[in-house]
Amino acid sequence: MVNSTVAVSKTKLKTPPLSVEVLGSKVLRQGAKRVTQINQELRELVAQMLKTMYAKDGIGLAAPQVGILKQLLVLDIDPDNPATPPLVLINPVLEAQSEAWALQDEGCLSIPGVFLPVKRPVQVTVSFKDEFGKLHRREFSDLTARVILHEMDHLQGVMFVDRVENPLALAQELSKHRFSLADVRRVTSS
Ligand SMILES: [Zn+2]
């Protein structure tokens, strides 16, 4: 069990405490550094990130999206249920992934309005520290695995649109939402 106890109300704030960078911003394309000190200051950042994620109806948020190049991400695939604690992953490392992959629509708070299918492994094993510095090694599947992989990509400057395999759908969806195809850096699924 992940002992995630940074106490944050899931109530949606009208004004998110942190502003979210959008596609085109340089900070989204930089690699994040490992967190070396897990302290109260970091837990405060975790709380602010969670509040921002809930305010914007997101289910995951990585620190580079709020302009902070640290290997830190938060997620909650059940944001309407106050009883489900969010997950906080610090310095996450992908230890294993399933051979089975699935294609499913993704969105991103940094590319508002854009939803496109992305192939991801169905199951992953990830090691990480929680916000109290405790080390975990856990298996995640389906939507949770997908969100973790999406957020871990952010820590390396990769955006989900880089993994979209249909170039026509990508171009159409980006232009519909006034994003530039020039800000996409295609990567192949690996
Ligand atoms: Zn994202």
| Residues sharing a CB contact under 8 Å with residue 81, sequence separation 6 or more, in sequence order | 10
Tens of pLDDT, residue by residue over 80-139, are 999 999 999 999 999 999 999 999 999 999 999 999 999 999 999 999 999 999 999 999
What is the CB neighbour count within 10 angstroms for residue 51? 20
Q: What was the pLDDT predicted at 2?
A: 46
Band (pLDDT 50/70/90 cuts) for residue 188 is: confident
Q: What is the distance in A from the centroid of ligand 1 to the CA of 112?
A: 10
- So what's the pLDDT on residue 143? 98
Q: How far is the CA of 36 from the centre of ligand 1 (A)?
A: 23
Active site residues: 151
Return the DSSP state at 99: S
pTM, to two decimals: 0.95
Burial tier of 43 (Cβ tally within 10 Å: 0-12, 13-18, 19+)? middle
Token readout for 129 is 């520290």
What the block records as the tokens of 49 is 């990130």
Please state the domain extents for the chain.
26-98+120-159
Spatial contact of 77 and 59, defined as CB atoms under 8 Å apart: yes
User: What mean pLDDT do residues 30-46 have?
Assistant: 97
- 46 SS3 class: helix
Question: What's the CATH architecture for 26-98+120-159?
Answer: Alpha-Beta Complex (3.90)
Average pLDDT, the chain: 95
10 has a pLDDT exceeding 80: yes
Å from CA of 74 to ligand 1 middle: 11
